[in-house]
């Protein structure tokens, strides 16, 4: 296998290791698929984010070139209820056009004749004398008056479309639209079928419709949540391409050629209107970069119509002027990302966007960037998060979220680009939740396994403790001989330990006893302790009383089965119960204390030798000492002398000697072992044992027969 394949294999193990990572991938991959195949699922959070950008960072409110003449509450109070007579509208439009605006956009459709026009009034009036009826018919017709006013200047009259209607032919006036295919072979005559389309056109009555110099589409469609965020630059009305009201106003104002729509494959790219190049979304709409509703955009119609102090017509000169209805109660209030406003104000905001070149944008590459954010952030979390500490995990999540926010806010603030950071954040949140939940579940499962394993181990150690305690002899096993008194105890630092003691009568008059300490603690020491004790006893039961020969034989046997290179310190002796002669061998062990009447406890004099298993062929010598009747020998391990407090203070041999010095002269062997053990226990004051503790005390009372 090559080095590269090994690296990839190692990376694969890293990426998929653990429940958390596998669960995170199981969430991240389907989320990416949904993000590609069903982006509409995330429209609500996406639009909420985009609306928050518009509310918190709106466009600068500059109103150069656009004015709205509003038929508002004050205008209704002056003229009367809506709809107004066409002659009054003609008067209003004439006064606006007299000021020579660059273009006047009418955000209204007059689909019916004026009911107050003379000929329409006669239809409702009933029978009248012929001379009176003829005289009334001679009066100017209101529709003709309005048509004349519309024809006296650069007026763009609104037309609309009806939703969900069959295709119906429309032959009314419409500005021709040029098309250009930007994809080879550049010969498609019609743009793709992605434009906002309406089967039936809704127009003003013919006399008005034909009088206007241009026509622009008014019909817009809100997003699914009822909020108006976009306007079509171009749409289809009865199968014909129709520019919007604002593009037509710009064209008329610039006296340029026909508008042109540019497309590429299945997407609309842009529209060119005179000198203006307007990039569009794929469906030919543009995203409006809103500013809040502002009364400074509006001029009340009543200020133009009133006879006293009318507004100066100069405010309209060379301006792009909209005429629309804004009075409360009339159905033209639209919900936008920055709040409700009249539909005509949305048109004015689009005009300001184009003039300032500050349209909101959501480029085609934005989805790719959002997918990359989801994938890279998810991959980073999956790879890095499980390898860092909990505090750093929280810091990494906060920093990544902050980077998302800075990227989204920065693109909107600087370039008016709408980048969806909330969808990647949702994907990251779900991935992170799966990673953490599954990781916690795995950790909990591991804890349960560890608890079960610990319980099993504790049970096994408890059994081992019972077995170890069972292989150590009880003092009762040698009771009944009045010539000596013996007691021993062993308390492991853990449940099992490496200390041991042994004693038994080799024959009627010889007592064998030994205390050993295996290097190390725990299970290895306990196993080696059992081996050492068994081999020592086996060697001692072969019929000889020479303690040197016994220990030499035991050293060879134990050293043969010692792969872990452990060693044993050992004090072993054979006491002649008739004479009190002690034959002993000290293999690296602490010297026993001798307690003799009338004297302070002192260490049994001995030459000493190395521990067992250190030198396999060492010849351990036999040493001898004569006990007096009543003498007590106390053999201990370093669990007594190295007993340690929580502060690190050790008991030491001197303190043990002081405890033994305070014993009554006639104390039993049992009393001596318990007193010394209690003294060590009181000294450590509850601190964790530092080593196994063993005490063996044997008193020779004298040669008295049983």
User: In the predicted model, is pLDDT for residue 504 greater than 60?
Assistant: yes
Tokens 């100017």 appear where? 140
Q: What is the C-alpha to C-alpha distance for residues 574 and 505, in angstroms, rounded to an integer? A: 9
**Pairing verdict, β 298-300 and 66-71:** parallel
Query: Within 10 A of 141 (CB to CB), how many other CB atoms are there?
Result: 18
Q: Confidence class of residue 329 from pLDDT cuts 50, 70 and 90? A: low
Higher per-residue pLDDT: 466 or 398? 398
Tokens 């500050």 appear where? 358
Stretch (H or E) spanning 455: helix 422-471
pLDDT single digits (tens) 95-117: 999 999 999 999 999 998 887 77
Q: What is the C-alpha to C-alpha distance for residues 637 and 620, in angstroms, rounded to an integer? A: 20
Among the listed residues 556, 564, 563, 551, the one whose alpha carbon sits nearest the alpha carbon of residue 521: 564
Q: What is the arithmetic mean of pLDDT over 464-482?
A: 80
Among the listed residues 116, 120, 118, 66, the one whose alpha carbon sits nearest the alpha carbon of residue 89: 116
Sign for the pseudo-dihedral over CA of 604, 607, 610, 615: negative
pLDDT single digits (tens) 650-670: 888 999 999 999 999 889 999
Domain ranges of the chain: 66-111+144-356, 371-471, 473-700
Show the 3-state SS of 521-546: CHHHHHHHHHHHHHHHHHHHCCCCCC
Q: What is the C-alpha to C-alpha distance for residues 340 and 349, in angstroms, rounded to an integer? A: 13
pLDDT single digits (tens) 8-50: 454 455 567 788 888 989 999 999 999 999 998 999 999 999 9
- The count of residues in the chain is 706
> In sequence order, which ranges of 199-254 are alpha helices (DSSP H)?
206-209, 245-254
Which letter does DSSP use for residue 229 in this model?
-
**Pairing verdict, β 499-507 and 333-336:** unpaired
Burial class (CB in 10 A: 0-12, 13-18, 19+), 635: buried
Q: What is the C-alpha to C-alpha distance for residues 76 and 84, in angstroms, rounded to an integer? A: 9
Range of lowest pLDDT (162-166, 298-302, 486-490, 698-702): 162-166
Angle at 154 between CA 151 and CA 159, to 5 degrees: 80
Burial class (CB in 10 A: 0-12, 13-18, 19+), 674: middle
Report pLDDT for 229: 94
Q: Within its chain, how far is the Cα of 167 from the centroid? A: 51
Query: Within 10 A of 422 (CB to CB), how many other CB atoms are there?
Result: 22
Q: What is the C-alpha to C-alpha distance for residues 242 and 142, in angstroms, rounded to an integer? A: 29
Sign for the pseudo-dihedral over CA of 458, 459, 460, 465: positive
Report pLDDT for 456: 76
Q: Please count the helices (runs of H) and the strands (runs of E) in the chain.
A: 20, 28
Stretch (H or E) spanning 551: helix 547-560
Query: Within 10 A of 363 (CB to CB), how many other CB atoms are there?
Result: 14
Report pLDDT for 618: 87
pLDDT single digits (tens) 53-82: 999 999 887 656 689 999 999 999 999 888
User: In the predicted model, is pLDDT for residue 135 greater than 70?
Assistant: no
Q: In what order do the strands lie in the sheet with 693-700?
A: 484-491, 693-700, 632-636, 593-595, 602-603
Rg (alpha carbons) of the chain, rounded to whole number: 53
CATH label, 473-700, candidates 1.20.20.10, 1.10.10.10, 3.60.40.10, 3.30.450.20 = 3.60.40.10
Report pLDDT for 327: 81
Tokens 């002796």 appear where? 573
Stretch (H or E) spanning 390: helix 390-415
Q: Provide the greatest CA pair distance for the chain.
A: 169
Range of lowest pLDDT (462-466, 508-512, 515-519): 462-466
CB 593 within 8 A of CB 604: yes
Among the listed residues 385, 520, 548, 269, the one whose alpha carbon sits nearest the alpha carbon of residue 20: 385
Q: Kindly report the pTM of this predicted structure.
A: 0.67
CB 464 within 8 A of CB 523: yes
What are the percentages of helix, strand and coil residues in the chain, rounded to 5? 45, 20, 35
Q: What is the C-alpha to C-alpha distance for residues 105 and 320, in angstroms, rounded to an integer? A: 8
Q: What is the C-alpha to C-alpha distance for residues 247 and 101, in angstroms, rounded to an integer? A: 16
Report pLDDT for 459: 67
Q: What is the C-alpha to C-alpha distance for residues 413 and 651, in angstroms, rounded to an integer? A: 75
């Amino acid at each position: 296998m090559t080095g590269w394949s090994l690296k990839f294999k190692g990376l694969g193990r890293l990426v998929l290791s653990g429940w958390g990572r596998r669960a995170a991938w199981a969430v991240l991959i389907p989320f990416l698929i949904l993000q590609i195949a069903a982006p509409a699922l995330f429209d609500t959070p996406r639009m909420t984010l985009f609306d928050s950008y518009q509310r918190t960072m709106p466009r600068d409110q500059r109103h150069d070139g656009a004015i709205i003449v509003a038929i508002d509450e004050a205008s209704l109070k002056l003229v009367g209820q809506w709809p107004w007579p066409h002659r009054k509208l003609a008067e209003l439009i004439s006064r606006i056009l007299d000021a020579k605006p660059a273009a006047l956009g009418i955000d209204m459709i007059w689909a019916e004749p004026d009911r107050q026009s003379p000929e329409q009034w006669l239809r409702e009036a009933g029978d009248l004398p012929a001379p009176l009826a003829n005289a009334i018919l001679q009066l100017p017709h209101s529709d003709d008056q309005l048509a004349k006013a519309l024809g006296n200047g650069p007026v763009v009259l609104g037309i609309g479309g009806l939703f969900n209607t069959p295709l119906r032919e429309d032959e009314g006036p419409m500005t021709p639209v040029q098309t250009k295919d930007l994809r080879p072979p550049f010969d498609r005559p019609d743009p793709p079928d992605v434009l906002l389309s309406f089967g039936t056109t809704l127009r003003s009555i013919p006399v008005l419709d034909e009088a206007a110099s241009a026509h622009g589409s008014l019909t817009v469609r809100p997003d699914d949540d009822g909020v108006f965020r976009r306007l079509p630059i171009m749409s289809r009305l009865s199968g014909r391409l129709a520019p919007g009201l604002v593009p037509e106003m710009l064209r008329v104002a610039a006296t340029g050629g026909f508008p042109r729509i540019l497309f590429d494959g299945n997407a609309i790219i842009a529209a060119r209107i005179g000198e203006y190049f307007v990039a569009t979304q794929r469906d030919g709409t543009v995203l409006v970069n809103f500013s809040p509703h502002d009364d400074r955009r509006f001029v009340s119609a009543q200020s133009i119509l009133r006879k006293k102090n009318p507004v100066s017509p100069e405010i309209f000169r060379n301006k792009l002027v909209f005429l629309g209805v804004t009075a409360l109660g009339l159905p033209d209030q639209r919900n936008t990302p920055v709040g409700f406003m009249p539909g005509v104000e949305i048109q004015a905001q689009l005009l300001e966007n184009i003039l300032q070149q500050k349209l909101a944008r959501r480029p085609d590459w934005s989805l790719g960037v959002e997918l990359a954010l989801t994938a890279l952030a998810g991959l980073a979390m999956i790879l890095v998060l499980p390898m860092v500490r909990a505090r750093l995990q929280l810091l990494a999540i906060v920093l990544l979220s902050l980077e998302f926010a800075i990227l989204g806010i920065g693109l909107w603030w600087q370039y008016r680009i709408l980048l969806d950071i909330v969808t990647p954040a949702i994907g990251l949140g779900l991935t992170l939740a799966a990673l953490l939940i599954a990781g916690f579940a795995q950790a909990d499962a591991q804890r349960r396994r560890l608890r079960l394993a610990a319980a099993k181990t504790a049970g096994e150690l408890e059994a081992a403790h019972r077995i170890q305690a069972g292989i150590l002899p009880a003092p009762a096993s040698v009771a009944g001989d009045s010539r000596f008194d013996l007691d021993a105890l062993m308390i492991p630092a853990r449940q099992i330990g490496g200390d041991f003691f042994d004693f038994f009568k080799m024959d009627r008059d010889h007592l064998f006893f030994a205390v050993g300490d295996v290097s190390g603690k725990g299970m290895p020491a306990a196993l080696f302790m059992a081996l050492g004790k068994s081999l020592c006893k086996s060697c001692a039961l072969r019929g000889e009383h020479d303690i040197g020969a016994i220990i030499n034989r035991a050293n060879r046997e134990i050293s043969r089965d010692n792969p872990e290179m452990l060693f044993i310190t050992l004090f072993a002796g054979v006491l002649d119960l008739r004479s009190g002669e002690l034959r002993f061998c000290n293999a690296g062990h602490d010297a026993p204390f001798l307690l003799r009447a009338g004297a302070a406890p002192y260490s049994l004099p001995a030459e000493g030798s190395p521990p067992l298993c250190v030198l396999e062929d060492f010849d351990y010598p036999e040493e001898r000492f004569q006990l007096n009747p009543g003498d007590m020998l106390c053999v201990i391990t370093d669990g007594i002398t190295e007993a340690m407090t929580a502060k690190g203070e050790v008991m030491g041999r001197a303190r043990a000697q002081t405890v033994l010095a305070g014993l009554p002269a006639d104390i039993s062997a049992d009393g001596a072992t318990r007193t010394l053990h209690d003294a060590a226990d009181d000294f450590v004051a509850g601190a964790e044992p530092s080593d196994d503790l063993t005490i063996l005390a044997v008193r020779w009372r004298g040669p008295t027969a049983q």
